[in-house]
Amino acid sequence: MNRPLPAPFLPAILTRATFDVCPVTGGGMKAIVMTRFGGPDVLRLEERAEPRPRAHELLVRVYATSVNTVDCSIRRGEQAVALPAVIGYDVSGVVETVGAEVQDFVPGDEVFYMPEMFSSDGSYAEYHVAAEKIVARKPRNLSHPEAAGIPLAASAAWEALIGRAGLRAGETVLILGAGDTGLFGIQIARAAGAQVYVVCPPEAAALALQLGASRTIDLDEDFLAVVQIESPDAAVEVVFDTIDGNSLRRIVQATKAHGRIASTVAAAGPGLEDALARNITHHLVSVEPNRARLDLIRAMIQRGQIVPVIDSVLSLQDAASAHRQLEVGGVLGKLILCSVTTA
């Protein structure tokens, strides 16, 4: 189950955008700054002073970043950040300078990482400062636009399935959602040797199967009925919920006794008492930066076990447009924002 994906398969997934060239933007230190909460139009391109790294930090030239659902949530004012703010929680770029105490990186190194949320400026900018401990080396076989779509979403999927749920070879997992995190979840579960059921819209079904799902379930289908009829023992060992915190009771019913549930969305409604009675563990996952985890993900990428799925590559200055696309729906994979002409 740990075989690399067949070579002809990779381009078929990665044809929704061009990955080796980023759209051109300007020349100075620019950032997308949010001075108030609201719709996408609150995101404005502004000139900012170039940040300076402290002793344990790196200054990274951000070649590319990506747009995540949490970015939209913060922009709408649903999570507390101090204004004015620069959001964005994925970086792929090149080390520009290093602080006096940095030991593992030098200027010119290609890196990728997930910035710390809420405690500092994000990655919608041409430069970003990060603590050395959260920065990892970029996968050799990916361009910067491809690598920029990985840190947050892939880390969330890894933490949920491997770190919390402890998914093992031979188990069956039900993944609710085929957004960016769900798509990485399919690949991580497949590489772990699991059988994967995915609840997703019709437009994502073919891609989910290409990435390793054994069965797709339409959003209008009763996933509990499908699991009870088709899966071994009429239930699954692990459920990974990325979209539907309101279905906790049905998720618990689809899970074997002593099974595990991991969720990146807050659970609501009844169901926890059923989980307790059947010794089902339920993990709420809020991912944090972690270099060691990214090193493991990088190894899987370089073996061909994980590939990024990119919907569109846009300029940094098109951040508001990218937010509109994500909120309207229909995005398949990652929306990438670039600030460097070549990657």
CATH of the domain at 215: 3.40.50.720
> CA of 222: how far to CAs of 68, 217, 254, 308, in Å?
28, 8, 11, 29
Instruction: Give the range among 109-113, 242-246, 272-276, 325-329 with minimum mean pLDDT.
Output: 242-246
Amino acid type, 21: V
Per-residue pLDDT of 3-18, as tens digits, reads 333 333 343 444 444 4
Question: pLDDT tens digits, residue range 315-333?
Answer: 999 999 999 999 999 999 9
- State both tokens at 104: 């593992």
Structure tokens at 244: 């539907």
Q: Look at 341 and 110; give whichever has higher pLDDT.
A: 110
160 and 182 fall within a common domain = yes
Residue 291 falls inside a structural domain: no
Q: Which amino acid is at 25?
A: T
**H or E segment to which residue 302 belongs:** helix 291-302
145 with 240, same domain: the answer is no
Q: Are residues 57 and 178 in the same domain?
A: no
Question: Is there a domain that residue 3 lies in?
Answer: no
Within this chain, do residues 143 and 166 fall inside the same structural domain, yes or no?
A: no
Domain co-membership, 183 together with 138: no
pLDDT at 221: 95
Number of domains in the chain: 2
225 falls within a domain: yes
**50 lies in the same domain as 164:** no
Rounded Cα–Cα distance for residues 343 and 338 (Å):
9
Q: In the numeric block, which tokens belong to residue 314?
A: 């846009």
Cβ atoms of 321 and 40 within 8 Å: the answer is yes
Tell me if 219 is assigned to some domain: yes
Per the domain annotation, does 85 fall within a domain? Answer: yes
Residues 131 and 244 in one domain: no
Q: Is residue 141 part of a domain?
A: yes
**CA angle at residue 296 from 262 to 105, to 5 degrees?**
130
Task: With cut-offs at 50, 70 and 90, classify the pLDDT of residue 308.
Answer: very high
pLDDT tens by residue, 253-267: 999 999 999 999 877
Q: At 112, which CATH number?
A: 3.90.180.10
Q: What confidence score (pLDDT) does residue 306 get?
A: 97
* pLDDT tens, residue by residue, 205-227: 999 999 999 999 999 999 999 99
Q: Write down the pLDDT at residue 29.
A: 85
Residues 107, 179, single domain; the answer is: no
301 in any annotated domain? no
Residues 139, 182 within the same domain:
no
pLDDT in tens, 141-176: 999 999 999 999 999 999 999 999 999 999 999 999
Same domain, 120 and 177: no
Tokens found for residue 226: 């499908």
- Residues 41, 125: one domain? yes
My answer on whether 314 and 279 are in the same domain is: no
* Domain span at 24: 13-150+308-338
Q: How far apart are CA 199 and CA 170, in angstroms?
A: 20
- As a whole number, the mean pLDDT across the chain is 90
How far is residue 337's CA from residue 343's CA, in Å, rounded to a whole number? 12
